[in-house]
Amino acid sequence: MIFLKTLEQTSILLIFIFVGYFLRKREIITQSGKKVLAGLLVNLFSPCYAIASLSTQLSIDKVSDYLVYFLAGIALAIVLVFVALPFAKWLGGNKLQRNILKYALAFANIGYFGYPVVGAAFGE
C-alpha cells in the first residue's frame, strides 16, 4: 500500500520535473523566471510546508506507531555514513571535495523531492 502511494507521488513529481524541463527548453520560463520560481520554493513554499508538517498534535500513540520507522531511519543514516567514507575516498579530490562528497553521499537532500513523497505516503 505504501509502495503504491509512494510510486504515485513520485510519478506526479517526475511529471512536474518533465513539464518544467519542457517549459525551460522551449524558453517559456526564462532564466529570470527560473530564479523567481527557485526563490519562491526556497523562501516561501518549503518553510510553509515545514511549518505545516511540524504543527501536528504529538501523542504517545503516534510516537509508538512510527517508532520502527524512526529507528530504521537512524540505522540507515549510520550505515550510510560508513558507506560514504570509503566512496568519498575512492572518488578522490582534495580534502574539501572529499568532505563534501561524504556529506552528500551520507545525507540525502529530500528538501525538494522527498517531503511531498513522505507526506503522501505517511500522511500529514
Nearest CA to 122 out of 46, 75, 70 is that of 70
Enter the pTM of the model. Answer: 0.45
Helix (H) or strand (E) holding 98: helix 95-106
What's the CA gap between 110 and 77, in Å, rounded? Answer: 13
Burial 8-22 (b: 16+ CB within 10 A, else e): ebbeebeeeeeeeee
Encode the chain (124 residues) as per-residue pLDDT tens digits: 677 877 887 888 788 888 888 888 888 888 888 788 878 877 888 778 777 777 777 788 877 888 888 898 889 888 888 888 888 888 877 888 888 778 777 776 655 555 555 565 555 5
Answer for the pair 13, 5: CB distance below 8 angstroms, yes or no. Answer: no
Grid look-up 579530490 returns: 93
Question: ∠ at Cα 43 (40, 49), nearest 5°?
Answer: 90
